[in-house]
Structure 1
Amino acid sequence: MSNPQTLEDLRSGSYKGVKRLKLSANLSSFPTEIFSLFDTLEILDLSGNPLSVLPNDFSRLHKLKTLFLSDCKFATFPAQLVKCRSLEMIAFKNNHMITIPEGSFPRKLRWLILTNNEIESLPASIGHCHRLQKCMMAGNRLTRLPDEMAHCRKLGLLRLSSNNLATLPDWLFQLPELSFLSFAGNPCAPAFSDNPILSEIIWSELSTQHLLGEGASGIISKGTWKASDGDREVAIKVFKGEVTSDGSPMDEMNACIAAGQHPNLIDPIGKIHGHPEKKGLVLQLIPPHYTNLGLPPDFSTCTRDRFARDLAFSAEKCRSVLYGVADASKHIHERGIAHGDLYAHNTLIDNSGHALLGDFGAATIYGDHEKREAIERMEILAFGHLIEDLVNLVEHRLDGDEVLGEKDGYVIEGLNALHYKCTNPIVMERPNFEEAVEVLGGL
């Protein structure tokens, strides 16, 4: 993405013909110089500027597909965007936005990010967004979803955490492609008190070493715990405390604790006590030979993971990974927890095919929710996508006219049959995770 530092840079003409433009220069009004890129610009990022309105002729950028206006000052969603005929992705995160006028969403909208605003209702016209696949509304003030949203039949990911929803509508559990749902931190999700079994670990007993990773909700470091029985290497996750695109880090911590221990989960060891500013968890340290199974979705794949081009699996390794993920999912659903982000990029694997399901950032503790069976069968659609992805990796091993042996062919045939059941467009006709584990164990 081209990044001019000032308006003078943009006016110089050296950016003419670019497809991507990012500009953060304390702009209080939209720089009309951008219109000179009307025939090429596809991605525009003006995040971090004190902008509050867009010009009426904004649709002159007729090739624009992606618009980022996060951390700005838009109290009202700009109705001008409905005229942007190519616009597919819109982000207004952290704007203190209150209002979305009827008829503001462009018809080609696929990906909508309105995280951490003050929105109380969505317009009924969202039902016209028949291509909508990803809708991120965590950290708002929604009290209900418009019934017209039932027409968004392509919706695959919906983030509703940290709102004011007293109920979830029945039609939500009939959407044929919805597989990634989070609704923690709403009145419709049961209240949760921390698991008293998990030990508290004093911050002064911990020492951090190098960074292992950083996600939306927190920072994970390798560390040492000076336990009573000797020093122990651990992973230390310190939460940032802000509402992320998935939800509240505190809901993530509660779900991680409630999930408990399982051979295919990253085990929580204790809650951090006495940190000067933040909350955190001490977790099992994963050996370095474990690697991420997949890569997160990008603009084009939207709700589906990506994989390294040279990644290939044997049929047995494919079955082993899927068995581990399914067994972990069975375990958490038995405890009334939906993962909410059941993806390959949230799964670690080793060479033997042992899988560890991680990242509870979008998890919801649903307990005895009246829709608990539907919630589990909604999530198994995400598992069905994972089956499809991994079976494709087995096929990448084949060279030319090479075919699978009889045993491997039997495994793949069984996986394809399970994929078919898990992706049934009728939610309640899908299997649950207990049934999936039984099938995978039999292969």
Structure 2
Amino acid sequence: MHDFETLKSGGYRGAGLAQLKLACPLGAFPERILELGETLEQLDLSGTGLWSLPAGLGAALPNLKIALFSDCRFKVFPRALAACPNLETVAFGNNGMEEIPEDSLPPRLGRLILTGNRISSLPASMAQCQNLALLRLSDNRLPALPAWLFALPSLAFLSFAGNPCAAPPPTKPPPMLATIPWTALTLSDDTSDTTAPGLWQQSADYAEDVAIQLFRGAATSDRAPRDELAARLAAGAHESLVGVLGRIDGHPDEHNDDDDDDDDETRRFHGGLVLQPVPAEYVALGRPPRDNSRGGAPLELAVEVEVEAACVLSMLTGIAGAAAHLHARGIAHGDLSAHNVLASTADAHALVGGFGAATVYGRGAYAMAVERIEVLAFAHLVGDMLGLVAERGGEGGGVLAGLGDLHARCAAPAVDARPAFDEVVEELEGMMGWRGMMRIPDVPAPN
């Protein structure tokens, strides 16, 4: 965080700042920022209430790569950003934005966050954004997604929950899902919308270790909490998904989301889930993105040990199986990347979590294209995990060659040329020697 008074007095001029973050209310764009153009690469003015940018922004800040303006008051996407030659990441979450003019997007745009606005259409000029890897459109007013969106060759991380074009969220929990009274739960840390350990007292004599996730607050850069809850409930069970044991009933903060007496979205309670606890030996494969707006860029892996190719193959098979399971239910994970994968190298097993960018899209017109967009995200994950493999010869070399070929197919620039996740799973199982072993043979029907 930087000091506004120091900025106004010219104290940062010549300081070689690569990043600048202000949090104070701003009535206008501080002109002193334009004096930092030789070195400034990241500008974060989120939460300042800013509503316009100077026309000369691009010329003054030619090295700007990341521009974050979430929780401001931009009603129209500013054309000034189109003149920023190196701008890759742009965030305008929760602005009340209504319009994106044609030719207002920067030429090298790779990540665009527009969650929580009032946008009803996307400009046709966005089809020229060939580097766009991440697009967050959740909680807007889009009646449909344009066909050209599904032809963008780099798009791997897409979310559009909470729009008319997405499937409506289920009104009732799955019939087999347990309803767990809040009074039967003990939470070790009363977090706002994260997952914390706890106990489920199932009887006077038995309590089970669980994880408890509460969904509170307004939309984040990825989603509205109610959309994440809906996706998690619709996901069902799979051996490579963190399991849901039940939905919480009777939490003290429960109320109707349409209750006019509480208009503070930062405190609104949307529901809670009881999850299976993840064993301690499972660790995240990657570290969370530092600017919370990453997509398609190489990820900093958290796992530092080298692993066998067979272990990586086993984990990727489970991850692809979980993705196939989700898409069979019309759900896109939206952020299928290493920081949302918990892995145990000892068990050669991985769990997919992190449903914050998930979209329940149904099985309508978008189904095939949405799935193949996420197949590209899986290709990035394959590339990340191949970097963990130690051996390069023998059986491990054969696995690496096979995964390399699969990576190339999943990363095909033509979206419709990529395989579906069922095909990916079949190929991975074949590499593991499972082909035919996991399937019941066809039985001729009786005459």
Q: TM-score range by the shorter chain?
A: 0.7 to 0.9
Partner of 2:304: 310
Partner of 1:408: 396
Relative to 1, partners in 2 of residues 1:153 and 1:357: Cα closer, same or farther, differing over 3 Å?
A: same
CA drift at 1:319: 0.7
Partner of 2:154: 177
Letter matched to residue 45 of structure 1? D
Letter matched to residue 303 of structure 1? G
Letter matched to residue 151 of structure 2? Q
Letter matched to residue 108 of structure 2? K
Encode CA deviations 1:27-58: one digit per residue, 9 max, x unaligned.
32333333332333222222222332334443
Partner of 2:281: 289
2: CA distance, partners of 1:155 / 1:117: 20
Aligned partner (choices 210, 228, 234) of residue 234 of structure 1: 210
- Residue pairs, 1:35-184, within 5 angstroms: 35-58=34-57, 59-124=59-124, 127=125, 149-184=126-161
Partner of 1:219: 194
Encode CA deviations 1:204-251: one digit per residue, 9 max, x unaligned.
22111147x88xxx2211111111362111111011242222222222
Structure 1: 4+ residue segments shifted above 6 A: none
1: CA distance, partners of 2:393 / 2:50: 58
- C-alpha contact 1:241 1:250 (8 A) present in aligned 2: no
Relative to 1, partners in 2 of residues 1:308 and 1:368: Cα closer, same or farther, differing over 3 Å?
A: closer
SS in 2 for 1:375: helix
Tell me which of the two structures has the higher relative contact order, counting C-alpha pairs closer than 8 angstroms and 6 or more residues apart: 2
- C-alpha contact 1:422 1:430 (8 A) present in aligned 2: yes
SS in 2 for 1:168: coil
Encode CA deviations 1:148-184: one digit per residue, 9 max, x unaligned.
x333333322223333333333333333332222233
Letter matched to residue 207 of structure 1? T
TM-score (norm 2): 0.82
- Residue pairs, 1:248-263, within 5 angstroms: 248-263=224-239
Seq. identity, %: 46
- Indicate whether 1:319 and 2:307 are aligned: no
- C-alpha contact 1:189 1:369 (8 A) present in aligned 2: no
Partner of 1:436: 424
Relative to 1, partners in 2 of residues 1:335 and 1:290: Cα closer, same or farther, differing over 3 Å?
A: same
Relative to 1, partners in 2 of residues 1:151 and 1:282: Cα closer, same or farther, differing over 3 Å?
A: same
CA drift at 1:409: 1.9
TM-score (norm 1): 0.83
Q: How many residues align?
A: 407
RMSD: 2.6
Relative to 1, partners in 2 of residues 1:284 and 1:393: Cα closer, same or farther, differing over 3 Å?
A: same
2: CA distance, partners of 1:267 / 1:73: 39
2: CA distance, partners of 1:381 / 1:244: 24
Partner of 1:197: 176
Partner of 2:435: none
2: CA distance, partners of 1:381 / 1:417: 14
Structure 2 spans left out of the alignment, 5+ residues: 254-268, 432-447
Letter matched to residue 282 of structure 1? V
SS in 1 for 2:388: helix
- Indicate whether 1:360 and 2:337 are aligned: no
Partner of 1:274: 250
Structure 1 spans left out of the alignment, 5+ residues: 128-148
- C-alpha contact 1:270 1:283 (8 A) present in aligned 2: yes
Partner of 1:13: 11
Relative to 1, partners in 2 of residues 1:176 and 1:408: Cα closer, same or farther, differing over 3 Å?
A: same
